[in-house]
Amino acid sequence: MKRLTKRVFTAVMVCLISCLMFATPVLAATNCFSKTTVKLNAINGGTSYSSITSGSVSGSSPSITKLELYCNVASGTDPYTIYVESPDGTIISIPGPTRSGSIIIPVFEGENPSGTWTIWIQNDGVSYNGNIYPASTATFTLKICYSY
């Protein structure tokens, strides 16, 4: 009787493990990298640029799954616009935040993260802080997660 119980138990376990193994989806491997720009200063309607490279990207067909832009905004910064250009040439513009924090940017999902990214700001030419010349100052950290 013990032998039969042991065989039934083993058969049930093999069946359960097989079912889980074939029913569980295979997930693609993921990886992330982050890079920080130099301090960007734009004055009186001007622009300030920074380029960053992805470094080594794993896999033969990497695809962005999440892009997060952390904005470290200097105190007293006047209104500005952030521009981000991907290595594929996609450009987006978003209003610059007045406080430091993160922004999730879904428009780049599916693109290849490998290559040079360009981030720039353009001062809106308006001072809300009483500056004679409107000035915007910020540093950005681009965090990109991708599957491969």
The domain total for the chain is: 1
Contact predicate 125/134, CB 8 Å: yes
Phi-psi bin for 21: left (phi > 0), alpha (psi -120 to 50), beta? alpha
pLDDT at residue 8 is higher than 90: no
Give the pLDDT band (50/70/90) at residue 15: low
Residue 103 inside a domain? The answer is yes
Residue pLDDT, tens place only, 17-31:
555 445 444 445 679
Average pLDDT taken over every residue of the chain: 88
Rounded Cα distance between 107 and 66, Å, is 9
Q: What is the CATH number of the domain that holds 143?
A: 2.60.120.260
Rounded Cα distance between 100 and 42, Å, is 17
Residue pLDDT, tens place only, 72-97:
999 999 999 999 999 999 999 999 99
- Name the one residue in this structure whose structure tokens are 């720009």: 37
Residue 16 inside a domain? The answer is no
Residue 117 inside a domain? The answer is yes
Higher pLDDT among residues 13 and 147, named by residue? 147
Residue 20 inside a domain? The answer is no
Rounded Cα distance between 16 and 6, Å, is 15
Contact predicate 69/97, CB 8 Å: no
User: Does the model's pTM come out above 0.85?
Assistant: no
Residue 3 inside a domain? The answer is no
Residue 13 inside a domain? The answer is no
Residue 89 inside a domain? The answer is yes
Residue pLDDT, tens place only, 41-67:
999 999 999 999 998 898 899 999 999
Contact predicate 54/87, CB 8 Å: yes
Residue 134 inside a domain? The answer is yes
Q: Which domain holds residue 53?
A: 30-147
